[in-house]
Every structure is written in C-alpha cells, then in structure tokens.
Amino acid sequence: MKVWIDGHLCTGVALCEKSCPEVFVMADDGIAHVVGPDSRPAPSGVAVEFPEELLEDVLEAAEGCPEECIFIEP
Ligand code: SF4
C-alpha cells in the first residue's frame, strides 16, 4: 500500500511522526513528509509504498491527523 500527504493542508503538528516515525518525518519546511525510498522526505503529494507490517501505525497516523491530510492508497 501507499501513503501520501497533502502538504498544503498539513499544519506541522507532528502527530503522524509520533505514530509512525518509520513512515512520517518532519522536514525543514515545517511540515510532515512521507519518507521516500531514498530515506529522504518525499515531495508533498507523492505516494510512497510502505511495508504491510506498518499498516496499523499508518492508519493510526491518518486517523489522528487533525487536518485529515494523510491519504492511503491500495
Ligand atoms: S499529523 Fe497531519 S497535520 Fe500533523 S504533521 Fe502529520 S500530516 Fe501534518
């Protein structure tokens, strides 16, 4: 499955990073990014594949995001 963040909506509260630091990271621009395949913050809106075993944590992050700007795709 893949996950992406709409950076235009993100307010940088960092709850996602607390729920799943393997997938979400706060970057220098003050908002959260999905960690890309190169282990660097992926650009806003770019969907990145994540390991199946992290699905529960990614779902927790998406449900806990106050801006509802984390999107999960098959
Ligand atoms: S929880 Fe949502 S609003 Fe907060 S940093 Fe993560 S993506 Fe942005």
Q: Is the pTM of this model over 0.75?
A: yes
Candidate of 10, 63, 68 to mutate for ligand 1, largest count of ligand atoms within 8 Å of Cβ: 10
CATH code for the structural domain at 2-73? 3.30.70.20
Q: Which atom of ligand 1 is nearest to the CA of 19?
A: 1
pLDDT at 40: 97
User: pLDDT tens digits, residue range 7-64?
Assistant: 999 999 999 999 999 999 999 999 999 999 999 999 999 999 999 999 999 999 999 9
Amino acid at 29: D
Taking 3-state DSSP, the helix, strand and coil percentages for the chain, each rounded to the nearest 5, stand at 25, 25, 50
Question: Which pLDDT belongs to residue 45?
Answer: 97
The ligand 1 atom at the shortest distance from the C-alpha of residue 67 is 3
CA distance 11 to 30: 8
pLDDT of residue 28: 96
